[in-house]
Amino acid sequence: MRERVEVADERAERLRLDFPALAGRSHTGAPLVYLDNAATTQKPESVIEAVAGYYRSGVANAHRGAHTLGARASAAYESCRTAVQRLLGAEHPDEIVLTGGCTGAINLVAHAFGDEHVGEGDEVIVSTLEHHANLLPWQRLCQRRGARLRVLPSSPEGDLRLDVLESWLSPRTRLVAVTHVANTTGGLTPLGEVVALAARVGARVLVDGAQAVARLAVDVRALGCDFYAFSGHKLYGPAGIGALYGRRELLARMGPFLTGGGMVDAVTPETSAYAAAPRRFEAGTPNIEGAIGLERAIEYLRAAGIDWVAQHDEALTRYARERLARVRGLQLIGAPLHALGVVSFVMDGVHAHDVSTIVDDAGVAVRAGHHCAQLCMQHFGVQATVRASFGLYNTRADVEALCAALERARELLAP
C-alpha cells in the first residue's frame, strides 16, 4: 500500500485560475465543474497564448523554407520533440516521432512495425481494458497478416491477469500492447512485470500512455518498454498532436507508414530513399502550432510539478471513490489495486446517459457511454457507465458537486 497523501485542494484552486475555460458556466448558468479530463483537458492560458502567438508572429512550414519564419517554425517544432524526449525520459530526441495523436502513433506502429514483424501464426496480446485505439489497430494487423489477437482477461476488480499473460507468452508472441492507465477504471498497469515477462520470450511491448502522461512521471528507460504513445490534448495541450516513443534501433529498422513530403531524401520514378527516423514517420506538413502548444503544456506540467500532480490525482481519486461509494444506489465499476484519475460507476435503475444529462444541468461535466472500450464494458457486464475523471485543477469540492448532482438524478429517475 502506498503512503496515504492528503488532497491538496489549495494548490489545485490556484492552478485552476490559469485555465480561462474553468471560469465559465454551463448552459444552465451553473459554474462549470469539469470532470471529463480523461476525454480531454482544458488548456492553460500559456498554451492558448503560445498557439495564438505563433499565428500572430507569422507561420511557416517546418524543415522546408530557408527564410526567417521557416527557421523559427523548424526550431519550434524540433524544440517540442526535445520537450517530449525529456517528458518521457527517452535517451535521444530522434526516438520521438510527433504524430497526430495517440491513435495515430499506435496505427503507425501497427503498420510500420507490425506489417514487418508480425506474420502468419504469430500472436499479438492486448488487454481487455484497452481503449479501441489500442485494440482495433492490432485486430486489423492480425487480420492482414493471418496472426492471432489474444485479449488478456482482467480480474473481477479490473487488474490484468499477469498469471494468464505469463502462460500465453511464447516465441510466437511478437507484441504486447497494453494501456498504462485504463481509461475506464483508472487502473495502473504493472508495466515492470509486463515488460519483464515479455522480455523472456523476446516480445516487444507497446504502452498506450494516453491517460498516464498527465497523471504520473513517465520514464520509458526505467519502464523498459519498446514503444510509448500519448496525445497532447489529454495533457493540457492542443488536439491533433501527440507522440510516439520508439526504441532507437527499432525505429531505425522500420519502413515508412504514411508517405509524402518531408520524409524522403532522394526520389526517382522507381524508388526513393527515405529520411532517417523520426522524420521518416512524419510525412506531410506537421502540426507546428500543435507542437508549440504541446511544448508549452509540458512546461506547464513541469512547473506545476509532476510529482505533486501525481500525488494530488491519486489522493483525489481515492477521495472520490470513497465518497461516491456512499451515494445510495451507486456502484463503482472496477476496484483496481492502484486507481489514478478515473472513476466509473453506474446508478441502479438510472441509465448513464440520463445521469450525465441531469448532472450537466448542475454544471457537472462527466462522460457517459462505453468510453471507446467495449471489451471492458463486456468484462464488467455493463452497457455503459458514467465516468468522472480528474485534472490537476480539480478539488474535493468538485467531487461534492458531482455527488449532490447524483442525488438529484437518483431522486428524479430511480425506480
List residues near another protein by CB under 8 A. Answer: 28, 350-354, 357-358, 361, 368-370, 377, 383-384, 412-413, 415
Q: 407: closest CA among 358, 334, 352? A: 358
Name which of 205 and 402 has its Cβ closer to another protein. 402
Query: Minimal distance in Å, beta carbon 371 to another protein?
Result: 10
Whether the bond between 278 and the residue before it is cis, its omega within 30 degrees of 0, is: yes
Name which of 102 and 365 has its Cβ closer to another protein. 365
Q: In what order do the strands lie in the sheet with 385-389?
A: 330-332, 342-347, 385-389, 367-369
Kindly tell me the sign of the dihedral angle through the C-alpha atoms of 151, 156, 161, 164. Answer: negative
- The helix or strand, by DSSP H or E, that contains position 98, with its residue range, turns out to be strand 96-99
CB atoms within 10 A of CB 336: 21
As given in the structure block, the three cell numbers for residue 137 are 489497430
Measured distance CA(316)–CA(308) in Å, rounded = 12
Measured distance CA(130)–CA(125) in Å, rounded = 11
Q: Where are the alpha helices (DSSP H) in 39-161?
A: 45-57, 68-88, 102-108, 114-117, 136-145
Is residue 372 part of the annotated active site? The answer reads: yes
Kindly tell me the sign of the dihedral angle through the C-alpha atoms of 64, 69, 71, 75. Answer: negative
Name which of 14 and 353 has its Cβ closer to another protein. 353
As given in the structure block, the three cell numbers for residue 70 are 521557416
Q: Give 233's DSSP letter.
A: G
Q: Which of 80, 142, 225, 372 is catalytic?
A: 372
* Residue 388: C-alpha distances to residues 151, 344, 395 (Å): 26, 6, 13
Residue recorded with cell 527517452 = 90
Name which of 297 and 358 has its Cβ closer to another protein. 358
Query: Which amino acid is it at 360?
Result: D
Per the DSSP assignment, residues forming a β-bridge with 96 are 245
Query: What's the first-to-final CA gap in the chain, in angstroms?
Result: 39
As given in the structure block, the three cell numbers for residue 87 are 517528458
* Residue 351: C-alpha distances to residues 73, 316, 359, 361, 409 (Å): 48, 25, 13, 16, 10
Residue recorded with cell 496525445 = 231
Query: Minimal distance in Å, beta carbon 377 to another protein?
Result: 7
SS3 for 243-295 is EEEECHHHHHHCCCCCCCCCCEEEECCCCEEECCCCHHHCCCCCCHHHHHHHH
Active site residues: 372
